[in-house]
Amino acid sequence: MSSLDFFPASPGIPLSTLAEATGSRLLEGASGAAPVYRVAPLEAAGPGDLTFLENTAYAKFAAETGATACFISEKQASLLPASCTPLVSNEPYRAFAKAAGLLFPAAARPQSIFGMSGIAPGAFVHSEARLESGVTVDPGAVIGPGAEIGRGTVICAQAVIGPGVRIGRDGAVGAGATVTHALIGNRVIIHPGVRIGQDGFGFAMGARGHLKVPQVGRVIIQDDVEIGANTTVDRGANRDTVIGEGTKIDNLVQIGHNVEIGRHCVLVGQVGISGSAVLEDYVVIGGQAGVAGHLRIGMGAQIGAKSGVMGDLAAGGKYLGAPAKAARTFFREVAALAKLAQKDDQRGG
């Protein structure tokens, strides 16, 4: 079976163009005329490839790389062979990410599954929906009455956009995703299988049974948010669920009703945020961590993987464990337990 490249090589971009676009610089005497066409890791790169070095654990591959060019810090540039042109940057990985987006723009967000533009045969668009010019709708997608979708947005196959939903410009809704009861900003990326706007988990519990509480809020998603595959975002119960500008959410994350997430937060896979919790700006939460309901996580707090947050957390702190505690305290406790276990072993216990 022949190999298939889902992202074919770009027509090529000269190094001088990439340097300008990424805020990098060529060393004195280096030529910026050579083009690059692909990206590759240091150890596997060859002629025409662009790579990067930021993590020092990979510095051992620098001297042997076959790449045409490498984003790298100035102090490490001497590690590269003469055949590889350094693109000097204070943030090599960030520069590489921007360059890769220029080489492979189609890889940055879901694309039409049907490979076309406009409204495809087999799409179901209600007569009362309003789509700006330049919207792409794949076969099998459903767009309900009163929905509004902005220019440049792609609605992939089998996606469902509910009545009255508003989606801004240059966004993408992946295959099989559902979006209801939501107002969504510009450049929002919603990956396949995402569920946005379903009712939250709200019941008045009691001995006579659990009475369902109608969920009458919305989901508000601001500009430049990205939501990973099979993540769920429940609509608010009596107010809105809100996701702030620039926040990035991994696959398989659960966000409960009335949750407020600030700007530029990062939530890694399998995180769960219970109802009415508040995450202030720039919060980072590691994989499989959970946050109990009605809590407030302060700005810039970092919560380690598998942590269980059961109380409010102060801004700027680093937290680990279940229940979550200051990272320094967590590591002291681990060290103390290790010493106790060692003593027990020495006693033959």
**Catalytic (active-site) positions:** 257
Considering just the CA atoms, what is the radius of gyration of the chain in Å? 24
Beta bridge partners of 85: 69
3-state secondary structure of 61: helix
Amino acid found at 136: T
Instruction: Copy the structure tokens of residue 294.
Output: 């009605």
CA distance 155 to 114: 11
CA distance 30 to 85: 7
Which of 184, 253, 283 minimizes the C-alpha distance to 224?
184
CA distance 152 to 133: 8
Amino acid found at 318: K
Rounded to 5°, the CA angle 297-181-264 comes to 30
Which of 179, 214, 185 minimizes the C-alpha distance to 198?
179
3-state secondary structure of 337: helix
